C-alpha cells in the first residue's frame, strides 16, 4: 500500500534542499474552474501574437493528457527577488527575473534532480517536469496546491514572500497527499490595476496580454503599436510595475541563487551605455540571459521606442 503522507514529505523535503522555498501537491484532475476563463481570454484576443496559447486547449486543463496515468501535480516555487537592483530610474529597465542567467535551464535541472531522487527513493515513477515550457496552467496548479493565490494582476502571490517566484511542476503517476487551496488575500486593494500604465489589467485577474509591457517588449515580434508611446515607463525587457506596487511584496526577501545574480556592471549601466549598446556587448552581457529571447534587434527596437517620445 502506498504511504501518501510519507512520500509527500519525502518529496517536499528534497525539493526544499534543492532550493525551492514552497512545495504543494494537488490531485491531477480536470481544472474545471479555469476552462471558461481560458476560453474567454482567447476569444477576446488577449493572447495577441502568442498564438501558441491557442493550441492544446484540453491539455492545458487536464494534466492527464500531458502525462498518461498522472495522479499528482507537485507545484514548486523558486525565489528570484534580487538584493541589488537598478537604482537609476532614468535608465532603460529590465524585469528582475532577467537580471541573471535564464531561469528555464536552472530550474529544469533542479526539477530533473528531484525526479531522479523520487525514482531512486520510491521506485518506478513516471512523469514529466515543467517550467514555463509546456501547456500547463502553472499558477492555477500552484494556487490549488495551497502555495498562494492568483492576485488581481494575474500573478501568484504567496502569503509570506509575495510574488517574485518562478513557478514549476512535476506531473507524476504517483498518488500523493494533496494540500488544500488557500484563500485570496487581495481584498479591496487595486494597487496593481491603478498602476499599470497600459491598462492591461482589464478587471481583477483578467489580463489583456496584448497590452502588457512584458508582452510588448518580449513576445511581440512586430513593431510596438504607437498607441503605447509614453506609456512604457522605460521598460525594455519585461515589466515589474504590478509587482512592485503590490503590498504583499514588502515581504519579499533576497534569493540565494548565485546564477540569478546580475552579470558584471549590468545594474549600473548608464543611459548612454544602454543607448549605444552594440551587438558585441549584447552578446557578451546577455550570453546566458533570458534577454536573448528578444534578440539584439528586438532590444534595439524597444530602446528606440522609449527614446523617441
Q: What is the pLDDT of residues 76-119, one digit of tens each?
A: 999 999 999 998 889 999 999 999 999 999 999 999 999 999 99
Q: Which residue of the set 29, 62, 126, 132 is catalytic?
A: 132
Residue 230 burial by CB count (10 A; 0-12/13-18/19+): exposed, middle or buried?
A: exposed
pLDDT reading at 69 higher than 80 = yes
Look at residue 263 in the predicted model and tell me its pLDDT.
83
Confidence of residue 134 (pLDDT cuts 50, 70, 90): confident
Cα–Cα distance between 54 and 42 in angstroms, integer?
A: 7
Confidence of residue 309 (pLDDT cuts 50, 70, 90): low
Confidence of residue 282 (pLDDT cuts 50, 70, 90): very high
Helix, strand, coil percent content, the chain, rounded in steps of 5: 40, 15, 45
Look at residue 128 in the predicted model and tell me its pLDDT.
97
Look at residue 89 in the predicted model and tell me its pLDDT.
85
- The torsion angles phi and psi of 158, rounded to 5 degrees, stand at -95, 150
Catalytic residue flag (residue 102):
no
Confidence of residue 133 (pLDDT cuts 50, 70, 90): confident
Q: DSSP state, 212?
A: -
Residue 101 burial by CB count (10 A; 0-12/13-18/19+): exposed, middle or buried?
A: buried
Domains and CATH numbers, the chain: 4-83+100-172 (3.40.109), 191-254+263-307 (no CATH)
Q: What is the pLDDT of residues 18-33, one digit of tens each?
A: 999 999 999 999 999 9
The region of weakest confidence among 55-59, 131-135, 138-142, 275-279 is 131-135
Selected residue with higher pLDDT from 263 and 219:
219
Kindly state the helix (H) or strand (E) to which residue 156 belongs, with its residue range. strand 156-157
Percent of the chain with pLDDT over 70: 99
Nearby residues of 9 by Cβ (< 8 Å), 6 or more positions away: none
Q: What is the pLDDT of residues 162-191, one digit of tens each?
A: 999 999 999 999 999 999 999 999 999 999
Bridge partners, 234 (sequence order): none
Average of pLDDT values for 254-264? 94
Amino acid at each position: 500500500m502506498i504511504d501518501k503522507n510519507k512520500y509527500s514529505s519525502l518529496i517536499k523535503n528534497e525539493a526544499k534542499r534543492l532550493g525551492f522555498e514552497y512545495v504543494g501537491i494537488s490531485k491531477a484532475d480536470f481544472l474545471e474552474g479555469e476552462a471558461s476563463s481560458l476560453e474567454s481570454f482567447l476569444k477576446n484576443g488577449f493572447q495577441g501574437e502568442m498564438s501558441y496559447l491557442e493550441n492544446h486547449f484540453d491539455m492545458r486543463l487536464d494534466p492527464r493528457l500531458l502525462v498518461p496515468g498522472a495522479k499528482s501535480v507537485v507545484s514548486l516555487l523558486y525565489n528570484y527577488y534580487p538584493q541589488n537592483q537598478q537604482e537609476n530610474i532614468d535608465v532603460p529597465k529590465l524585469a528582475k527575473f532577467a537580471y541573471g542567467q535564464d531561469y528555464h535551464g536552472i530550474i529544469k535541472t533542479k526539477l530533473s534532480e528531484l525526479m531522479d531522487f523520487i525514482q531512486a527513493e520510491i521506485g518506478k515513477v513516471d512523469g514529466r517536469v515543467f517550467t514555463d515550457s509546456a501547456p500547463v496552467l502553472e499558477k492555477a496548479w500552484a494556487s490549488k496546491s495551497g502555495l498562494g493565490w492568483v492576485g488581481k494582476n494575474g500573478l501568484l502571490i504567496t502569503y509570506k514572500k509575495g510574488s517574485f517566484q518562478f513557478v514549476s511542476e512535476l506531473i507524476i503517476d504517483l498518488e500523493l497527499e494533496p494540500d488544500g487551496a488557500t484563500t485570496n488575500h487581495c481584498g479591496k486593494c487595486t494597487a496593481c490595476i491603478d498602476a499599470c500604465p497600459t491598462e492591461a489589467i482589464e478587471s481583477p485577474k483578467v489580463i489583456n496580454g496584448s497590452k502588457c509591457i512584458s508582452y510588448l517588449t518580449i513576445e511581440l515580434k512586430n513593431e510596438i503599436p504607437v498607441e503605447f508611446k509614453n506609456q512604457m515607463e522605460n521598460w525594455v525587457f519585461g515589466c515589474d510595475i504590478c509587482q512592485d506596487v503590490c503590498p504583499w511584496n514588502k515581504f519579499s526577501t533576497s534569493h540565494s541563487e548565485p546564477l540569478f545574480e546580475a552579470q558584471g556592471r549590468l545594474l549600473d549601466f548608464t543611459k548612454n551605455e544602454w543607448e549605444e549598446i552594440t551587438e558585441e556587448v549584447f552578446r557578451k552581457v546577455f550570453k546566458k540571459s533570458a534577454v536573448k529571447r528578444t534578440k539584439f534587434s528586438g532590444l534595439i527596437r524597444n530602446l528606440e521606442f522609449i527614446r523617441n517620445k
